[in-house]
Copies of this chain bind each other. A is one copy, B any other.
């Protein structure tokens, strides 16, 4: 186990009807806010009206910036920064999934910064202050509601990059599983794949002696795997929605990587995919992760076999751990398919046209390493894309 510092100050307000308290919660921080969200869905479901009413009742003045898209765009972030500066807004409330939250976080570090906020995402500068951000979560997936991460996309050249900073922890997050009843099944499944990927990025590690976090990851992973089919079968099942939603936050709040190095290669490889093809991040991960596993499981057969045995209940044949490991990867692919996700580029109608370009962009940076368990160069990344064809 490595030395570590763990601190997660986000206050989680979880359960039925919790969004009705948003006005009172916000009031503790600000009288004027930027409300940041996507588009029609929160209006169709009535969530928008409930949030506005709660904010109005608490006497909070609301400026709005809608239009967040999946793979949130830098241009909208810059618009948000402008609105906050012009109106002296010092608090941002994001309502939505990871895209709305990540976009809000980008605005929050951009407002007090003199330079271009993209500097932070390119690793050319580190943020020193940020406006407080709070969230009402509608999609269990990114875990951004209790993480210190934000990922945005620069349209010019379609670069998708992430920023990690302790300044990015939301001050509070409201999580009502009922808000996820109206998610299309495909989005529920993509969210699950994102959560599972966050767990696997942490699980596959070179750090030795990490029994507690291994077991905590397996516990969270099995919970997601068990509950997603239930939620897909009955969209309004509170219990499975609650298990998935809380798992999504736990998966990415920093606890499960205490004392261990993660990998994150698959995330970097997927980012190029969704930057160019604009497919859902979770779907991209369902394609990339099995290919990544096949490419390098031999480096640590024991770990991949343990994953297969403990998470996928593959028979513990200790005389042929490679076969156990491979059956685990197969179980993962079958699971993704069973919940309606692609596991091949061809399933998403992506051919080999841009593989070279994506591998290039993924590995172009001098400062950013790709992969922890195995550091990947351009050829490795290209091979992984090819395995996913």
A-side residues, CB < 8 A to B, are 1-16, 18, 208-209, 211-212, 215-216, 218-220, 222-223, 226-227, 239, 242-243, 246-247, 250, 255, 258-259
Contacts and interface: CB of A to CB of B under 8 A. Distances in A.
Task: Give the number of times this chain occurs in the complex, counting copies.
Answer: 2
- The 4 A-B pairs at the shortest CB distance, nearest first, are namely A3-B15, A215-B219, A209-B239, A7-B11
Given A212-B223, A255-B255, A12 B3 contact: no
A59 to B, nearest CB: 23
B15 A6 contact: no
Nearest to A220: B212
Contacts of A218: 215, 219
Contacts of A208: 239
Contact of A222 (B215, B220, B239): B215
A206 to B, nearest CB: 15
A216 to B, nearest CB: 5
Contacts of A258: 12, 14, 246
A4 B175 CA distance: 10
B9 A9 contact: yes
A211 to B, nearest CB: 5
B1 A247 contact: no
A175 to B, nearest CB: 10
26 contacts: A1-B15, A1-B239, A1-B246, A2-B15, A3-B14, A4-B15, A5-B13, A6-B11, A6-B12, A7-B9, A7-B11, A7-B12, A14-B258, A208-B239, A209-B242, A211-B223, A212-B243, A212-B250, A215-B219, A215-B222, A216-B216, A216-B219, A216-B250, A219-B219, A246-B259, A255-B255
